[in-house]
Amino acid sequence: MPASRLDPKAIPRHVAIIMDGNGRWAEERGMSRIEGHRQGLESVRAVVRAAHELGVQTLTLYAFSLENWNRPKREVDELMSLLEFYIDAELPEVQRNGIRVTSIGRLERLPISTRAKLEEAEAATRDNREMQLVFAVSYGGRAEIVDAARKLLRDAEVGKVDPEQLDEKSFAAYLYQPELSDPDLLIRTSGERRVSNFLLWQIAYTEIFVSDVRWPDFRKTHLVDAIVDYQARERRFGLTSEQVRS
Ligand code: FPP
């Protein structure tokens, strides 16, 4: 059982995943990119279940970036339908497992039906405390910071914020979901070594793990590999090794 390689006391609290490689997975098999996304949905199912089993408290999935709006309309439509389908199909299990579903991003750009499904999942799971599943949809890290700055400026204009008092903590209160802890581990699948505008503010001290596995092939064993690698690292947060160990 691969999970036995893990130290159960050092499971990352928050794991964020850039689910990449659906298109390449499909192209390598002579299939359409959409088939890759459909297969990717199976990985979403498996990884949500696995994260819950392993005791991860928050799992954030990069489901659709702001840049993804520029893909062919058919692909965009399919990705939205898959998200809706996921919620319909998985909500009962998510509920049974006490998982709370939330979403971050410029949600106002989503089709009404997709937004409604996300809101439905959010409302139905509001009181669940076993794990939080966050969908980053229509999401961009820079946009999140800009949106925060916009709200902050509005508050400053009406005197609710004193610019001199602003610090990192009070700025972070304007992010989409301020109560989210920063990710401990960021996993990117399919080999690319980029952060692609994901959670830019929140990943300041996050450990990054790049897996060569294409997202549609990603399963619990690969999540365990990433966590085992993470557990072998020393997180110093800018301190020296000596300071961290004392
Ligand atoms: C990247 O693959 C993946 C996406 C753009 C979207 C992720 C979507 C899913 C996993 C489908 C289901 C989603 C949910 C949340 C239920 P890519 O198309 O960029 O792959 P490529 O880089 O190989 O072209």
Query: pLDDT tens across 18-61, in order?
Result: 999 999 999 999 999 999 999 999 999 999 999 999 999 999 99
Mean pLDDT of the chain: 96
- Residue 234's pLDDT is what? 80
Q: How far apart are CA 102 and CA 149, in angstroms?
A: 22
Mean pLDDT of 102-131: 98
Q: How far apart are CA 219 and CA 140, in angstroms?
A: 26
With the most atoms of ligand 1 within 8 angstroms of its CB, the residue from 17, 18, 28, 37 to mutate is 37
Where does the chain have alpha helices with state H? 22-28, 33-54, 73-96, 112-124, 141-157, 168-172, 220-231, 241-245
Tell me the CATH number at 159: 3.40.1180.10
pLDDT band at 6 (very low <50, low <70, confident <90, very high): very high
For residue 3, pLDDT beyond 60: no
**Catalytic residue at 167?**
no
> Are the CB atoms for 2 and 220 separated by under 8 Å?
yes
Residues with a CB atom less than 6 Å from ligand 1: 19-24, 33, 37, 40-41, 44, 61, 63-64, 68, 79, 82-83, 86, 135, 190, 215
Mean pLDDT of 68-76: 97
For residue 2, pLDDT beyond 60: no
Beta-carbon contacts of residue 225 (< 8 Å; ≥ 6 apart): 2, 211
Catalytic residue among 22, 68, 217, 229: 68
SS3 125: coil
Sheet of 58-65: strands edge to edge? 99-104, 131-139, 58-65, 14-18, 185-188, 207-210
140-168: pLDDT as tens digits? 999 999 999 999 999 999 999 999 999 99
172-212: pLDDT as tens digits? 999 999 999 999 999 999 999 999 999 999 999 999 999 99
For residue 94, pLDDT beyond 90: yes
The model carries a pTM of 0.96
CA distances from residue 145 to 58, 88, 212 in whole angstroms, order as listed: 21, 31, 30
Beta-carbon contacts of residue 234 (< 8 Å; ≥ 6 apart): 241, 244
SS3 221: helix
Mean pLDDT of 214-242: 92
Q: How far apart are CA 92 and CA 76, in angstroms?
A: 26
- Residue 242's pLDDT is what? 86
Q: How far apart are CA 107 and CA 137, in angstroms?
A: 7
The residue segments making up the domain with residue 146 are 10-245
Q: Residue 57 falls within a domain, yes or no?
A: yes
- Residue 1's pLDDT is what? 44
Nearest residue (by CA) to ligand 1, atom 18, is: 23
Catalytic residue among 7, 20, 70, 155: 20
Q: Residue 2 falls within a domain, yes or no?
A: no
Task: Give how many domains the chain has, as a whole number.
Answer: 1
Tokens of 208: 């990054």
If we measure between CA atoms, which residue out of 214, 218, 187 comes closest to residue 21? 214
DSSP per-residue string spanning 1-45: -GGGGS-GGG--SEEEEE---HHHHHHHTT--HHHHHHHHHHHHH
- For residue 209, what is the enclosing H or E element? strand 207-210
**Catalytic residue at 212?**
no
Which atom of ligand 1 is nearest the CA belonging to 65?
5
With the most atoms of ligand 1 within 8 angstroms of its CB, the residue from 17, 18, 20, 213 to mutate is 20
- Residue 236's pLDDT is what? 79
